[in-house]
Chains A and B, each alone.
Chain A
Amino acid sequence: MAQQERSVSRRRYLRGTGAAGIAALTGLAGCTLGEDGGGTSTGDQDPLTIAATIPESGRFSSLGQDLRRGYELGEQRMNEELDREVNLVVRDDESDAQTLREQLQAITSNNDVDMIWGSFSSLLVTAGSAFAENQELPFLGIAFAYEEPHRNDGYEWTYAPFPKSRDITRSTLGTLELISESERPGQVGIWEPNSGWGAEQAGYWEDRLSAEGYEVVLRETFEIGSEDFSTLISRSESAGVEVLLSNPTPGGGITAVNQMRENGWAPDMLQFVRGADPSAWWSALEDAGAYALMCPGWVPGLTGNGNEQLRNRYESEYDDDSEYLAVNVGGSYNLTQVAQQAVEAADSLEPGAIQSALRGEEFETVIGTFSFEDNGLPAEGELTAPTGQWWDGAQRLVYPDTDSDRALDLQYPISPWDER
């Protein structure tokens, strides 16, 4: 702990000399060691400083604004409801893990950071998490369904208030059960992106769906950067795939659906986890994107646990009265609720105190009520992953069932291309 104190005060001191440091780089000043360092005295209610990165450019750039809005609404609420000042420092990570780390490094060395919020996708969230684990700072990350790092990388500071691969798989089964038994499809195809999460999710799908009596007729991997799905499409068609499951990148998902249209083939049911999450899905595909199911963590149609407040805050802040909020606004807002409840329970900004709160408390957020396992996974079975469907330009909740007008009855089956 003494080590911790020292490094904090060093950081504090260095904050003041940062600008001079830049000057040193350009050769205007050689040395900035001075006697004026000394940290400012700290009161009981220290301000809470949060470092965050979001992908505002690069391949996940279509998510950046939604994540930012969720974080900002959360910061606003925390400032009102916590009895301390909350500062959120957000930077663009350019959808690049290396850049993300540099940005976090820059923020933590210029600010006395108490907590870090993650970016988007397992690629970027694990990069942020590695930084946080190294710095021993509490880290929250969404859009991160990959479970393996929680188990293998000895996470102590990383917590994911987000449905994981196993929760998504339960939700896929639940969605299938919405279809009456006589119409329910039986033949499943899985396109597995060549990545760790791709393999994990495909494995869960294959195991659980096979156990429930579905027949997995196709499971094929594809290169993560692939832009040509024509071979996978003809194989799926030839294998008689009725339910197509995959977790491509957003760009890959859009390309795949475009090529299905070109080839005149579509499954009866399509779930693209993460691929169909961003708003870019509809702007790129329009009606061709309808029917697609996704599992983005939060979907319009969920009720309770602050969902109404989220909507009110959003409307008053952004001058946007669209009926359905972008899903990642809800996901990132949920993260801020966890952060707030953890700080309230800890009643301190000590990393260790926040960590115990994250491990011990139960959290109520717009995506549900859940607690965490010690490795940062949401406890098994507690979180029902909401599944949404694209319909008429919006993502709407189809599973679980709620009484909200924003929820939708599952649209099944996908109508053939020539009838659209």
Chain B
Amino acid sequence: MSLLERHPEGSLLADRRLQAAAVVAVLALAAVPLATTEALTGLVLTGLVFVMLGVSWNLLAGYAGQISLGHAAFFGMGAFVAAWLTTPSGAGFPESLQLPVLVAVLVGGLASALVALVLGGIIFRLRGHYFAIGTLALAAVIELVMLDQRSLTGGSTGYYIDSDLGLPGVPVSHGDVVFYLTLAATVATVGVTYSIVRGPGGLAMQAVHDDEDAASSLGVNPLKYKVYAFVVSSFFAGLAGALYGHYTLYINPESTLAVTWTIDTLVVVILGGMGTFVGPLLGAALFVLLDKGLPVALRTVADLFALEGGTSALVDSLSTTVEGVLIILFIIFVPQGLYGLANDYLVTDLTRGGPGEPGTPTEGGPGSDPTAGPEATADGDASVPPREE
């Protein structure tokens, strides 16, 4: 923050570079449904969903310092609320309730935000470890209750979403349209979060994170900013869930609300760099490569050697094990994540070379992914500086 304040013009320049890079990234992503297969579009869409989850969780955990292990619950609630609105008959609601997808996913996000607002006042009585484990238990309760309410959620049979956004007469499928919606939502998530962490709210959150009592004595109301972060974070998690549900057209309390989503979110943020702005973007890209790419690669190898049966389970466990090992190694040895790694090289280069040569050193590193690469390139010194312990 102070860095930016001291060099306003520098940040402006960086901002322009950042904007240009972001536009390039978004355009490249927009080409995905046109240029690739449906499966690959789905893969990139999943990556975008993880960007939303990571960026939103990072706001709460990385900036405001509240390690919530209940992110999956808000993702899942957004998915279900949106599903009820586009497909009311599945839950026995009157057809008249039906809303267009665009409105429904927004309401899904808002519903998650509302739940966070209501719960925030209560759950923030807990601090530190208690907050972490309390949110884990809260998510488990929400999952069990949703699973139990099968007239609303379909229970263990799940809930089918009836929606077809495919455009007649043009080869644009339902998945493609949801992809563009998700892309727009991702841009919104990144933009809104960026403006929050760069604004006074972000400063206050960091103050709360660093020392709650000190922040309090400086006139920052810790509860207010914790709830603020929680609500915003839950909104985007809910939005991500709503969009993902409308992509898969099928949601299930056991998988859509499962702790897996929380784990994956953590992996995204830790790999990318917790408390850094660009971190989750890099993390999501690496995560999708690890989580989806690694199994594909291993499966291809298995197919080559004509290995049969059970291999895919093995491959899947193997790649999750790798993720676990990576987050342990990263948090101990590279706590600033990929962003930190990139920053170590980038910042020095940029300082030396000035803004005239953006993005020289990104090849080979995390920047080789179109999801987040260009932003990483230009963002070296523009984002909020990594939080120091």
Contacts and interface: CB of A to CB of B under 8 A. Distances in A.
Contact of B35 (A15, A24, A26, A146): A24
B313 interface: yes
Interface string B294-318: 0010000000000001101100100
A31 B35 contact: yes
Interface string A70-107: 00000000000000000000011010111001100110
B10 interface: no
Contacts of B173: 7
Nearest to B296: A22
Contact of A196 (B36, B154, B296, B309): B154
Interface string B244-260: 00001110100110000
Interface string B240-283: 00000000111010011000000000000000000000000000
Contacts of A130: 160, 249-250
Nearest to B144: A223
B42 A102 contact: yes
A17 B36 contact: yes
B372 to A, nearest CB: 10
B370 A196 contact: no
Given A18-B39, A22-B40, A56-B312, A98 B255 contact: yes
B201 interface: no
B102 interface: no
A17 B34 CA distance: 12
A105 B156 contact: no
B293 interface: yes
Interface string A112-149: 00000000001100110011001000000000001001
B39 A101 contact: no
A6 B373 CA distance: 34
B198 interface: no
A272 B39 CA distance: 39
A30 B157 contact: no
A223 B156 contact: no
A140 to B, nearest CB: 19
Interface string A200-236: 0000000000000000000000011000000000000
A157 to B, nearest CB: 14
B255 A96 contact: yes
A26 B31 contact: no
Contacts, number: 140
The interface residues of chain A, by DSSP majority, are classed as helix
A30 B30 CA distance: 12
A33 interface: yes
A195 interface: yes
A326 B45 CA distance: 40
B356 interface: no
A387 B153 CA distance: 32
Contacts of B154: 196
A176 B137 CA distance: 45
Contacts of B32: 24
Nearest to A32: B35
A109 B38 CA distance: 6
Contacts of A26: 289, 293, 368-369
Interface stretch (A44-52, A57-65, A160-168, A349-357): A57-65
Contacts of B310: 56-57, 64, 92
Contacts of A149: 157
A105 B42 contact: yes
A68 B37 contact: no
Contacts of B249: 130-131, 134
A196 B164 CA distance: 26
B37 A7 contact: no
A182 to B, nearest CB: 41
Nearest to B367: A27
B33 to A, nearest CB: 11
Contact of B39 (A7, A61, A106, A146): A106
Contacts of B255: 96-98
Nearest to B163: A134
A303 to B, nearest CB: 30
A254 to B, nearest CB: 18
Contact of B155 (A11, A91, A134, A195): A195
B39 A110 contact: yes
Interface in B142-163: 144, 147-148, 150, 154-158, 160
A247 to B, nearest CB: 12
Contacts of B160: 126, 130, 153
B191 interface: no
A316 interface: no
B164 to A, nearest CB: 8
Interface in B17-75: 28, 31-32, 34-40, 42-44
B309 A21 contact: no
A195 B160 CA distance: 15
B171 A6 contact: yes
17 contacts: A10-B171, A17-B37, A18-B39, A18-B40, A25-B44, A32-B35, A33-B35, A56-B312, A97-B250, A98-B256, A101-B248, A123-B252, A126-B160, A130-B249, A130-B250, A134-B249, A196-B154
Interface of A: 3, 6-7, 10-11, 14-15, 17-18, 21-22, 24-27, 30-33, 56-58, 61, 64-65, 68, 91-92, 94, 96-98, 101-102, 105-106, 108-110, 122-123, 126-127, 130-131, 134, 146, 149, 153, 194-197, 223-224
Given A68-B309, A196-B155, 13 more contacts: A3-B169, A22-B293, A27-B370, A27-B373, A56-B309, A58-B313, A61-B313, A109-B37, A153-B160, A194-B148, A223-B144, A223-B148, A224-B156
By Cβ-Cβ distance, the 5 closest A-B pairs, closest first, are: A57-B313, A21-B36, A92-B312, A109-B38, A21-B40
Interface of B: 28, 31-32, 34-40, 42-44, 144, 147-148, 150, 154-158, 160, 164, 168-169, 171, 173-174, 248-250, 252, 255-256, 288-289, 293, 296, 309-310, 312-313, 316, 368-370, 373
